[in-house]
Chain A
Amino acid sequence: MRATVLNIEDAVVSYREDIALRGVSLKVKSEEFVGIIGPNGAGKTTLLTIVNGLGKLLSGRVWVLGDYLTLSNSHSLRKKVGYVPQVENIDPRMPMNVREVVMIGRYGLLGLLRKPGKHDWEIVDEMLELVGMTHLAQRPIGHLSGGEQQRVAIARCLAQEPELFLLDEPTASLDWKAQTEILELVKRIHDSRRLTTLFVTHDLSCLPVACDRVVLMKEGLIWSEGSPNELLTDGNLSRLYDMPISVVEKRRRETILV
């Protein structure tokens, strides 16, 4: 029996008038790969941000890696939680290269007043190798393509040596080939480094079949959860995305699940 590493209890989050999460509870066990899918605005990203303490709870509790998240311990708990946020446009003239950006992942662990040493750079280079970006290590970060940026973000996250691996739409706005590569990379990393992974996506074709469990979210609630095969039926998806079954069937035939 694997230990529980994450326990969200009845979480409610609100941004001004909008309620983003309306009482969500979720338990995740060590080394589990959980796919979280749902339409835009379902609260998927918010769910990830309450796990690393960036999102503020209105009520409920979040237990992460042995402690309840509080304002005072969120800084230290965050160091064990790797978070890959959604891709944003990076200033093409930003004066930082790929290697320096990946090193940011080590900064929290290093703590204040300590500079990165040889060991840290070795880890950074190892992570760049792992995501296949060694050849671009010296390139300014803003010059990379979307898929390359995403690989760098993953390397940065891994340089943190996290126990929890949170990915927010890592395949959004990537072409089909880059999507496939990122999915394979994430799966490989999850297995080889024995991480606990939460993978958020709105795009069904980008849900790795390797998922141990799928969580369907809609309108700030967990709508259903279970194994991918029993849950991802045309009927369920048609209700989740408010689309007729015929459309869902057609869409699913067109996309090949990875």
Chain B
Amino acid sequence: MDLSIFGYQFMQNAILSAFLGGIACATVGVFVVLMHMPFIGVCMAHAAFAGALLGLWLGFNPLVGAFTFSLLSAAIIGPLADRGELSPETSLGVIFSLMLGLAFLFMGLMPGTKSGALELLWGSILTNTRSDIIFLGIVTIVVVGLVFVFYKEIQATIFHRDMALSVGLPATLILYGVLFLTGATITASLRSIGGLLIFSLILNPAAAAYQLTYSMKRMFLLSAGFGVLSGWTGLLISYLFNIPSGATIVVTSSVIFMIAAIFSPKRKVKGWQEKQVSEE
């Protein structure tokens, strides 16, 4: 195999982007999976995509549009999830379809070639610039740093929000903080992975890690590992077979999830319990 390609600057940028994006997305994914809000993440990803297209159309920085839109959607969705009395899926569905509609509206209104728009749709990790990587790097460090610093508050909020509140933790603030981080991560990874695909890189590594461990710390680590593995393997496959990298990264992460699900010890919860009981 000719690996001289890895000597090129654009490939090194791509490898670094996959590493950073994999960690940030997979870390946010742990929240999404454990707080049972996958639909919120999908919604925010599509909002980011719509916002980026608005930026492209009107000629301002697409990432600013993406961040604003995903935070706006989080501001609408947050209170829905916060009340949590009724299932918020219906309202989320409305917002989700609105965002997709807006995205295609902006794309239609855009004059000239649509290649920039399509890039945001599918992602193109190979054209990442230094400034993209710096932005992604900052977001990744902030996400990982905040998880590290506020681990116990996050853990309690994930477990049971009212309980976290009742012991005196600012659980509502933590919830909105998590939504904010999700928006920032989606925005920073948008150019690499693409608006339609980013969500699988958030969900799949965390979902795979969720199958494999009963320790939350280990779940964060495993998820980040799977995120980076998906990014790198996807990049390699993309290069070897000359196919879009966003797609190969997402398919790789799905395959990792499937393998984890098949070998999950949690699918045999009953058997595991019986084993424990007989040991006692």
Contacts and interface: CB of A to CB of B under 8 A. Distances in A.
Interface of A: 52, 54, 75-76, 78-79, 81, 83, 85, 88, 91-97, 100-101, 104-105, 107-110, 112-113, 115-116, 135, 139-141, 143, 156, 160
Nearest to B211: A93
Contacts of A81: 166
B60 to A, nearest CB: 37
Contacts of A143: 269, 272-273
Contact of B152 (A93, A116, A140): A116
Query: Could you say which interface size class chain B belongs to?
Result: 20 to 34
B185 to A, nearest CB: 21
**Shortest beta-carbon contacts, A-B, top 4:** A108-B168, A108-B167, A79-B168, A83-B166
B216 A78 contact: no
Interface stretch (B40-48, B90-98, B156-164): B156-164
B215 interface: yes
Nearest to B220: A95
Contacts of B164: 104, 107
Given A95-B213, A95-B215, A143-B269, A75 B162 contact: no
A76 B273 contact: no
B279 to A, nearest CB: 11
B156 to A, nearest CB: 5
Given A76-B168, A108-B169, A94 B162 contact: no
A120 B34 CA distance: 25
Given A100-B155, A101-B159, A135-B280, A54 B215 contact: no
B109 to A, nearest CB: 40
A107 B219 contact: no
A165 to B, nearest CB: 12
B166 A95 contact: no
B147 to A, nearest CB: 14
A109 B272 CA distance: 35
A21 to B, nearest CB: 18
A78 B150 contact: no
Contacts of B215: 95, 97
Nearest to B280: A135
A97 B269 CA distance: 14
Nearest to B152: A107
Nearest to B213: A95
Given A115-B152, A135-B280, A140 B168 contact: no
Given A104-B164, A116-B152, A139-B276, A95 B170 contact: no
A109 B153 CA distance: 12
B149 interface: yes
Interface in B163-180: 163-170
A79 B169 CA distance: 9
Contact of B214 (A97, A101, A105): A97
16 contacts: A75-B168, A76-B168, A79-B167, A88-B160, A91-B34, A94-B34, A95-B218, A104-B156, A104-B167, A107-B164, A107-B169, A108-B167, A112-B150, A115-B152, A139-B276, A143-B269
Contact of B210 (A95, A100, A107, A108): A95
Nearest to A105: B167
A94 B159 contact: yes
Contacts of B213: 95
A95 B168 contact: no
Contacts of A94: 34, 159
A101 B152 CA distance: 11
A113 B167 CA distance: 16
B210 A93 contact: yes
Nearest to A111: B168
B225 to A, nearest CB: 15
B163 A85 contact: yes
A169 B267 CA distance: 32
Contact of A78 (B155, B165, B219, B273): B165
